[in-house]
């Protein structure tokens, strides 16, 4: 073979190596080949301080992880979340993640994602699908334990009371995992002692406006409320307005226990308007992005990852507030 043909052959081999080496190959959109990852995230909405912190965590973590984020706000409507998931399937994203606004009604769209070969990760809230192959993992809190913590605090506060102790409950969004499970955890504790009477319980949709409106109706219909269990800070903060408008002192005339530990909730606790707050950590972004990378690379991941959380009384809130991230 002539020198010039050998030179051409060598150049062609080197060129091919350089192309393959620097490009890392043309990975499929699933990024199994280590290419860019695109995450489609269908968020519940923007209903509360917790949700705002959760969204910020997801958006900033995706950026830090070099993951391209497609993000949608469903305004707390399941149909919008399903529509967003379908659009992510059509766009052939690498991974889909979402916080299901309610527990039921997901099997069909999750089967569509599975058929399309797009892995799904649940964050924050769970689904009631019996087929656990429809999603790779659940990352979030133990809502039953959060409800139990709130119930345990009430039981401790009124251990020496003879009762009746009248309790009002501002429930989260009907059908949502946090509402279902916080109610279960709370009721499992208080049903053990007949002095505890749930005299009013209603959906406040996790928002301040609804929390205020429902608390106003409770105060009109109930002659005596000793304790308010608000299943998130925002409904509790809305209830404060109603309680004060009725000439009552929150934290004293009506003891208030909530869940989330957002900044405004912790401030109300430090100010003595709330009495106890159970933490529910919204900062799921970093853990979610680690999961997305592993799932995109076809690695196996735990099917349930629970976040670490605590609870605060008024003194603990005063100490913790300066260093809180949300
Ligand atoms: C809990 C989350 C709940 C929060 C509310 O993980 O789903 O939804 O407790 C939020 O504040 O609206």
Per residue in 136-177, pLDDT (tens digit) is: 999 999 999 999 999 999 999 999 999 899 999 999 999 999
Question: pLDDT tens, 267-277?
Answer: 999 999 999 99
The answer to whether the CB of 141 is under 6 A from ligand 1 is: yes
pLDDT at 232 over 60: yes
Q: 143-280: same fold as 3-139+282-308? A: yes
User: How crowded is residue 94: how many other Cβ atoms within 10 Å of its Cβ?
Assistant: 26
- Mean pLDDT, rounded, for 206-229: 98
The answer to whether the CB of 146 is under 6 A from ligand 1 is: no
- Mean pLDDT, rounded, for 277-295: 98
pLDDT at 31 over 90: no
Residues 6+ positions from 221 with CB-CB distance below 8 Å: 200
Q: What percent of the chain has pLDDT over 70?
A: 90
pLDDT at 30 over 70: no
pLDDT at 28 over 50: no
Q: Please give the structure tokens belonging to residue 34.
A: 């280590």
Q: Which of 140, 108, 133, 67 is CA-nearest to residue 300? A: 133
> For residue 23, what pLDDT is reported?
32
CA–CA gap between residue 181 and residue 148 (Å, rounded): 9
Domain-by-domain residue ranges, the chain?
3-139+282-308, 143-280
CA–CA gap between residue 221 and residue 214 (Å, rounded): 11
Closest residue to atom 9 of ligand 1, CA basis: 232
- Mean pLDDT, rounded, for 2-8: 54
The backbone torsions φ and ψ at residue 137, rounded to the nearest 5 degrees and listed phi first, read -165, 160
> For residue 7, what pLDDT is reported?
53
> For residue 2, what pLDDT is reported?
57
CATH of 3-139+282-308, one of 3.10.20.740, 3.40.50.2300, 3.30.565.10, 3.40.640.10: 3.40.50.2300
pLDDT at 18 over 50: no
The answer to whether the CB of 260 is under 6 A from ligand 1 is: yes
Tell me 214's DSSP state: H
Topology classification of domain 143-280: Rossmann fold (3.40.50)
How many residues can be counted in the chain? 326
Q: Please give the structure tokens belonging to residue 259.
A: 């869940």
> For residue 35, what pLDDT is reported?
76
The answer to whether the CB of 285 is under 6 A from ligand 1 is: no
- Mean pLDDT, rounded, for 190-218: 98
Instruction: Measure 3 CA to ligand 1 centroid, in angstroms.
Output: 72
Instruction: Measure 22 CA to ligand 1 centroid, in angstroms.
Output: 44
The strand pairing partners of 119, in sequence order, are: none
Question: pLDDT tens, 298-318?
Answer: 999 999 999 999 999 999 999
Mutate to test the pocket of ligand 1, among 46, 50, 56 (most ligand atoms within 8 A of CB): 50
The answer to whether the CB of 55 is under 6 A from ligand 1 is: no
């Amino acid at each position: 073979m002539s020198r010039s043909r050998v030179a051409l052959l060598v150049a062609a081999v080197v060129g091919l190596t350089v192309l393959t080496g620097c490009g890392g190959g043309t990975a499929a959109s699933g990024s199994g080949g280590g290419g860019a990852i695109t995450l489609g995230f269908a968020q519940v909405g923007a209903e509360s301080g917790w949700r705002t912190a959760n969204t910020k965590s997801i958006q900033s973590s995706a950026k830090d992880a070099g993951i391209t984020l497609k993000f949608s706000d469903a305004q707390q409507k399941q149909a919008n979340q399903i529509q967003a998931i379908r659009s992510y399937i059509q766009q052939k994203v690498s991974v889909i993640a979402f916080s299901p606004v309610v527990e039921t009604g997901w099997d069909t769209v999750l089967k569509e994602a599975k058929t399309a070969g797009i892995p799904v990760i649940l964050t924050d809230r769970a689904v009631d699908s019996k087929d656990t192959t429809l999603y790779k993992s659940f990352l979030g809190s133990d809502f039953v334990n959060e409800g139990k913590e709130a119930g345990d605090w009430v039981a401790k506060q009124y251990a020496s009371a003879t009762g009746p102790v009248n309790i009002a409950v501002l429930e989260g969004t009907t059908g949502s995992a946090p509402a279902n499970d916080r109610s279960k955890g709370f009721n499992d504790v208080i049903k053990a002692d007949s002095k505890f009477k749930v005299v009013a319980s209603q959906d406040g949709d996790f928002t301040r406006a609804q929390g205020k409106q429902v608390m106003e109706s409770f105060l009109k219909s109930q002659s005596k409320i000793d304790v308010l269990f608000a299943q998130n800070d925002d409904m509790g903060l809305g209830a404060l307005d109603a309680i004060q408008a009725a000439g009552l002192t929150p934290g004293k005339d009506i003891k208030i226990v909530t869940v989330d530990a957002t900044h405004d909730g912790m401030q109300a606790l430090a100010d003595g308007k709330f009495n106890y707050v159970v933490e529910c950590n919204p900062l799921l972004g970093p853990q979610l992005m680690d999961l997305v990378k592993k799932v995109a690379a076809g690695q196996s991941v735990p099917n349930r990852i629970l976040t670490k959380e605590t609870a605060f009384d008024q003194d603990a809130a005063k100490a913790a507030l300066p260093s809180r991230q949300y």
